[in-house]
Amino acid sequence: MAGERLDERQRRDWLRLMKSEHVGPVTFRQLIARYGEASEALKALPALAQRGGLKRSIRLYPAEAAERDLERADDIGARFVGVGEPDYPPLLARTDSAPALICIKGRPELVQTPMIAIVGARSASAAGRRLARDFGSRLGRAGLTVVSGLARGIDAAAHEAALATGTVAVVAGGIDVLYPPENEELQRAIGERGLLVSEMTPGTMPRAEHFPRRNRLIAGMSLGTLVVEAALRSGSLITARLALEQNREVFAVPGSPLDPRAEGTNRLIKLGASLATSADDIIDALSGLIERAEHEAPASEGLADEDGAAEFNAAGEDHRDRIWALLGPAPVELDDLIRESGLPTHVVNAVVLELEMAGRLERHPGQRLARLA
């Protein structure tokens, strides 16, 4: 299925599966790997959750709701793209946490260009906004698409500067929800001349917990992330951390130690980010990566292949107890769980999936698992 387009029914079922209870990006892939089709996975979910220990019925996203979502996207000139489909950002598809579907509006060809994220403080200084504009327009002219989060301050300045060459705005809510209000016009412009991206369905109001997820997408689709002005403990530093976790480049604009808006960027440089004072610093560092990306075939990652399906099989009650006993509130690595349980990989995978469907397990980055209950 990878690399091919979903048909209409598959897309609806993907949306249903993605929005069903306890189904995250990793679980989604495992379910497709196990059951082949989203429709089959949806049928299997209630029994899986029950075996995992859920006392009530698992909540499946209704077919009608998914159909409404797809219609609403169509009404606003947007559409849903599945991981592995041609218009899905290839670098994002390679990340562990790639959403099964994203909603896009605008020029989908931008997803095939090399991208650089520019993020930073909402309460940016005039100097910071000027720097974001300089970086945005110069990186744009150098052939990079500028990705950001459509926030006030640095994000908006970077988008504006790159509107002429190509910019992608990843928004935290539905792509038709104009937020923040001061960027309404910019959001409309990007929906026409650039590309709007969201993992939410249209009409979703952005909530606080959506923003870190949005940052994950920004870092995930970009070769590198540039942070322009950021305080300590800011969303921009989270984006930088996510970029590092995905082995992407991180750049930071330095500033005076007397400027609190430079504390975050100076700290990033101390921790190993590359100091960037001009677009050339970034172009030089990324040029090798850009060439490699251009010579690669379009990404066909996204979903595990048929071989993966063999890894899943029904598990016995005693296996489930043994694995549950090995889990705690602190995350453990899946490999350790397999080793310490003494059980075959496919058995552990099956139990983990069941426990997850029952809402008793939480996935952490790096294939680590923790008890939720």
- Footprint of its own copies (CB under 8 A): 127, 130-131, 253-259, 262-263, 266, 269-270, 274-275, 277-278, 281
CB nearer to its own copies: give 288 or 329: 288
CB nearer to its own copies: give 120 or 202: 120
CB nearer to its own copies: give 90 or 120: 120
Q: How far is the CB of 277 from its own copies (least distance, A)?
A: 4
Q: How far is the CB of 245 from its own copies (least distance, A)?
A: 22
CB nearer to its own copies: give 145 or 266: 266
Q: How far is the CB of 269 from its own copies (least distance, A)?
A: 5
What is the distance between the alpha carbons of residues 81 and 369, in angstroms, rounded to a whole number? 28
Name the H helices within 19-125.
25-35, 38-52, 63-75, 90-93
Going by C-beta distance under 8 Å and a sequence separation of 6 or more, which residues neighbour residue 74? none
Asked if residues 312 and 350 have their Cβ atoms less than 8 Å apart, the reply is yes
CB nearer to its own copies: give 22 or 133: 133
CB nearer to its own copies: give 236 or 349: 236
CB nearer to its own copies: give 190 or 276: 276
Q: How far is the CB of 239 from its own copies (least distance, A)?
A: 20
CB nearer to its own copies: give 40 or 281: 281
Q: How far is the CB of 142 from its own copies (least distance, A)?
A: 17
Reading the block at residue 346, the tokens are: 């496919």
Q: How far is the CB of 121 from its own copies (least distance, A)?
A: 14
3-state secondary structure of 197: strand
* HEC readout, 7-27: CHHHHHHHHHHHCCCCCCHHH
CA distances from 317 to 43, 50, 190 (A): 21, 12, 53
Residues in the chain: 373
Q: How far is the CB of 272 from its own copies (least distance, A)?
A: 11
DSSP 8-state secondary structure symbol assigned to residue 67: H
Asked if residues 329 and 371 have their Cβ atoms less than 8 Å apart, the reply is yes
Sign of the torsion formed by the C-alpha atoms of 96, 328, 18 and 354: positive
CB nearer to its own copies: give 57 or 287: 287
3-state secondary structure of 80: strand
Q: How far is the CB of 314 from its own copies (least distance, A)?
A: 55
Asked if residues 346 and 356 have their Cβ atoms less than 8 Å apart, the reply is no
Q: How far is the CB of 253 from its own copies (least distance, A)?
A: 6
HSE-up (13 A, CA, CB side) for residue 111: 28
CB nearer to its own copies: give 278 or 313: 278
What is the distance between the alpha carbons of residues 49 and 33, in angstroms, rounded to a whole number? 17
Going by C-beta distance under 8 Å and a sequence separation of 6 or more, which residues neighbour residue 89? 102, 111, 115, 197, 220, 221
Q: How far is the CB of 100 from its own copies (least distance, A)?
A: 40
Sign of the torsion formed by the C-alpha atoms of 256, 259, 265 and 271: positive
